[in-house]
Amino acid sequence: MNLYSTNDPSLSIPLDQAVLQGLPPDNGLYMPDEIPSLSPVFFEGFGRMSFQEIAFRVCEVLLGDSVPKTDLTQIIHESITFDAPLYSLDPQVDILELFHGPTLAFKDFGARFMAKLMGYFVREKSEKLTILVATSGDTGGAVASGFFQTPGIEVIILYPSGKVSHLQEKQLTTLGHNIAAIEVNGTFDDCQQLVKQAFLDEELRKKLWITSANSINIARLIPQMFYYFRAYQQLQNKNQPAVFCVPSGNFGNLTAGLMAQRMGLPIAHFVAATNANNIVPQYLESGTYSPQPSIPTISNAMDVGKPSNFARMLDLFGNDWAKMRQAISGYSCSDQQTREVINQVFSEKGYVLDPHTAVGYLAIKEYQKKHPNTHGVVLSTAHPSKFLDVVEPVIGQAVEVPEQLASLADKPKEATAMGVDYQAFKAYLLR
Ligand SMILES: *Cc1c(COP(=O)(O)O)cnc(C)c1O
């Protein structure tokens, strides 16, 4: 597998370079130079495949000889360690539960696979790779957990003091080993700025091999394709067109779905579900793309005003607006509607939606008003216990906190406190 940049189609670099670099030097995004179709033979045996086998087969075709088969098998066995079950919420809608991983969000899939793949690519390097991540909450936890104890890689996570939830902070600060946390006395933007400055610091980069692990890395998109296949495999009624609805922020998840469809998975249509940050639905409506400052909402992992994977979506449709809107419908909803639907689904069905999944459920229901003969699959991106402060007042009772999260409460926090001070950060990195 070789990759080009969305800003330079003539570029062609191998997967290991794209993964270890993250971003092309021209500020585009890496895309596979070919998205091959799966053979009919794949679909013949599909019904009986395990999740890991699906992942292996998809990778085998997509990655070609970039990773030898035995190593690929191991990477998949170490990263795809929990399932993505479908829950039938109503006769027309299934919920694809992507929250059974260590940090209870779909980001575990991307982060774990990326960690194992990077670990594989650095295995024979003498130098240690340092990964810098600024986080406003969720990404840092998934990355920390994914890279925990990966040989040859150290992870440094910067988070804004007092601005992540208590349990999110625990996810970042209690692992130890190769995972270090810096508690920055500032905002998320300050954290991001410190990381950016480090990448621009030539002197630092001569001494330290650094890269990032944010969602634009192609290694995070690849494993996000697997669960679209897993979902389709579990669909009871394959006669109705399958419409996948994706609660979206940076649109990595939806982009991975488009790639799965390109490989031949029979997805009839996509629904892009957003909160008030409705840049992509507006683009689909009007043909004009206008990024905006992000608006805070209760589905805050989707508070993105400039979706980073939009360039990849455009690329997949050859920059053709008409083609994109044939494939994707966009919906946006308010916090008020989100709360209402959490309450309604809980009282009618006893199922607790997290705020992000709730946005998705609203969107598929809107879509199905006009397209009744479809079967919806809503990607459930997080477990409701990650958003207790939103969910509990709405449903009027306690949400059960799974063991992965509950056990963190007693673990001691370890973080280095720091001001917004690049020289101090640099000294820390070179310590
Ligand atoms: C990151 C995240 C999203 C948004 O996913 P994108 O791939 O950025 O569109 C949605 N829900 C939750 C819970 C998330 O953590």
pLDDT of residue 128: 95
Q: Which ligand 1 atom lies nearest to the CA of residue 357? A: 11
Q: Going by DSSP bridges, is the β-strand pair 86-90/93-97 parallel, antiparallel, or unpaired?
A: antiparallel
pLDDT of residue 165: 82
The whole-chain average pLDDT of the chain stands at 95
Q: Which of 137-151, 271-285, 352-366 has the lowest mean pLDDT?
A: 137-151
User: Which residue in this structure is represented by tokens 């963190």?
Assistant: 408
Type of residue numbered 100: H
* Partners of residue 129 on adjacent β-strands: 153, 209
Percent of the chain with pLDDT over 90: 86
- Is there a domain that residue 23 lies in? no
Question: Domain of 284?
Answer: 83-105+223-404
Which positions ≥6 away from 428 have C-beta within 8 Å? 182, 416, 418
pLDDT of residue 255: 98
pLDDT in tens, 159-181: 999 988 888 899 999 999 999 99
pLDDT-based confidence at residue 52 (cuts at 50, 70, 90): very high
Structure tokens at 149: 């104890």
pLDDT-based confidence at residue 307 (cuts at 50, 70, 90): very high
pLDDT in tens, 183-234: 999 988 899 889 989 988 999 999 999 998 877 899 999 999 999 999 999 9
How remote is the CA of residue 223 from the centroid of ligand 1, in Å?
15
Structure tokens at 361: 């459920």
Q: Which ligand 1 atom lies nearest to the CA of residue 252? A: 7
First to last CA, the chain: 37
Which is higher by pLDDT, 137 or 284?
284
Length of the chain as a residue count: 431
Please state whether 127 falls in left (phi above 0), alpha (psi between -120 and 50) or beta: beta
How remote is the CA of residue 44 from the centroid of ligand 1, in Å?
32
Please report how the helices 218-234 and 51-63 are oriented relative to each other, as an axis angle in degrees rounded to 10: 130
Residues within 6 Å of ligand 1 by CB: 105, 107, 138, 215, 247-253, 301-302, 356, 381-382
Residue nearest to atom 2 of ligand 1 (CA): 301
Q: How big is the CA angle at 211 (ends 206 and 212), to the nearest 5 degrees?
A: 150
Q: Which ligand 1 atom lies nearest to the CA of residue 356? A: 11
Residue nearest to atom 15 of ligand 1 (CA): 301
pLDDT at 97 over 90: yes
Which of 255, 342, 356, 378 maximizes ligand 1 atoms within 8 Å of its Cβ, making it the mutation to test the pocket? 356
How remote is the CA of residue 248 from the centroid of ligand 1, in Å?
6
- Is there a domain that residue 60 lies in? no
Type of residue numbered 311: A
pLDDT-based confidence at residue 25 (cuts at 50, 70, 90): confident
pLDDT of residue 213: 82
pLDDT in tens, 310-362: 999 999 999 999 999 999 999 999 999 999 999 999 999 999 999 999 999 99
CATH number of the domain residue 369 falls in: 3.40.50.1100
pLDDT of residue 174: 95
pLDDT at 368 over 90: yes
- Is there a domain that residue 415 lies in? no
Longest Cα–Cα distance in the chain: 61
Which positions ≥6 away from 273 have C-beta within 8 Å? 245, 246, 247, 248, 331, 332, 333, 359, 360, 362, 363, 364, 378
- Is there a domain that residue 269 lies in? yes
pLDDT of residue 214: 75
pLDDT-based confidence at residue 405 (cuts at 50, 70, 90): confident
How remote is the CA of residue 247 from the centroid of ligand 1, in Å?
7
Which of 97, 227, 253 maximizes ligand 1 atoms within 8 Å of its Cβ, making it the mutation to test the pocket? 253
3-state secondary structure the chain: CEEEECCEEEEEEEHHHHHHHCCCCCCCCEEECCCCCCCHHHHHHHHHCCHHHHHHHHHHHHHCCCCCHHHHHHHHHHHCCCCCCEEEEECCEEEEECCCCCCCECHHHHHHHHHHHHHHHCCCCCCCEEEEEECCCHHHHHHHHHHCCCCCEEEEEEEECCCCCHHHHHHHHCCCCCEEEEEECCCHHHHHHHHHHHHHCHHHHHHCEEEECCCCCHHHHHHHHHHHHHHHHHCCCCCCCEEEEEECCCCHHHHHHHHHHHCCCCCCEEEEEECCCCHHHHHHHHCCCCCCCCCCCCCHHHCCCCCCCHHHHHHHCCCCHHHHHHHEEEEECCHHHHHHHHHHHHHHHCCCCCHHHHHHHHHHHHHHHHCCCCEEEEEECECHHHHHHHHHHHHCCCCCCCHHHHHHHHCCCCCEEECCCHHHHHHHHCC
How remote is the CA of residue 254 from the centroid of ligand 1, in Å?
10
Structure tokens at 247: 């609660």
* Rounded CA separation 80/306 (Å): 30
Which positions ≥6 away from 126 have C-beta within 8 Å? none
* Rounded CA separation 92/371 (Å): 11
Average pLDDT over residues 300-318: 94
pLDDT at 152 over 80: yes
Work out how many domains the chain is built from and give that number. Answer: 1
CB 324 within 8 A of CB 280: no
Percent of the chain with pLDDT over 70: 100
How remote is the CA of residue 36 from the centroid of ligand 1, in Å?
26
- Is there a domain that residue 378 lies in? yes
- Is there a domain that residue 127 lies in? no
Average pLDDT over residues 411-419: 96
How remote is the CA of residue 204 from the centroid of ligand 1, in Å?
32
- Is there a domain that residue 53 lies in? no
How remote is the CA of residue 130 from the centroid of ligand 1, in Å?
25
- Is there a domain that residue 329 lies in? yes
